[in-house]
Amino acid sequence: MTTILIADDHPLYRDALRGALSQPLNSITLVEACDLPETVSVLEQQEVDLLLLDLHMPGSQDLFGLLHIRKLFPDVPVAIVSGTEDPAIISKIIGVGALGFIPKTASKQNIKDAIQAILAGDIWLPENISDKVESVDESFSQLAEQVASLTPSQYKVLCYMRDGLLNKQIGYNLDIAEATVKAHVTAIFRKLGINNRTQAVLIASQLELEPPAH
């Protein structure tokens, strides 16, 4: 029995994926999650053969969800599902370990083909995108590895730092004490191997991380 986890905050798209996978592929169990914490919880509790991860669901914020999952569960195959079809972003997705990219505009047949290819151990990309995807350089891979070590809360603080917010403003936005923000900043500096906010902003900008949803 193959278990596929659909991690997406849009019920209609989860329904679409479930419909695409229910008939052509036999012996499949589908599990669902609507945000990053629930996704992590499911992966902790049961064996999953493939994770279909929405790039922008709550808690995920662009590449962080993928980086976080890859750090915690390096043996779980991951394919990204997203409405974003930017070749530069897709290159980074594949560069940090995703086995495929499935656009949310993909047909049922393309979804079937993608799942079958990825379960077989292949990397799957849409034909109109595959020739535009490039290899990421070593410096990006190192940055991704560093950012993957952050907790979701630390990641949010990093995003707000990138946007120029002071500790007091970050604390207000996250509803935490300023002292807690300072502790997060200290941990971020240590994990990223840096010693000032300018370096933190540079790292966040290079990864094209998006600020957390308000």
Domain boundaries, the chain: 2-130, 150-206
Does residue 78 contact residue 98 with C-beta atoms inside 8 Å? yes
User: In CATH, what number does 150-206 get?
Assistant: 1.10.10.10
208 in the Ramachandran plot: left (φ > 0), alpha (ψ -120 to 50) or beta?
left
User: In CATH, what number does 2-130 get?
Assistant: 3.40.50.2300
* This prediction's pTM: 0.82
Per-residue pLDDT of the chain in tens (214 residues, 90 and over written 9):
789 999 988 888 888 788 777 755 557 888 999 998 999 999 999 999 999 998 888 777 678 888 889 989 999 999 998 887 778 888 888 888 899 999 888 888 888 888 889 988 889 998 887 778 777 777 788 888 888 899 989 988 998 998 899 999 999 999 999 999 999 999 999 999 999 999 998 888 877 655 444 4
User: Quick one: how far is CA 84 from the chain centroid?
Assistant: 13
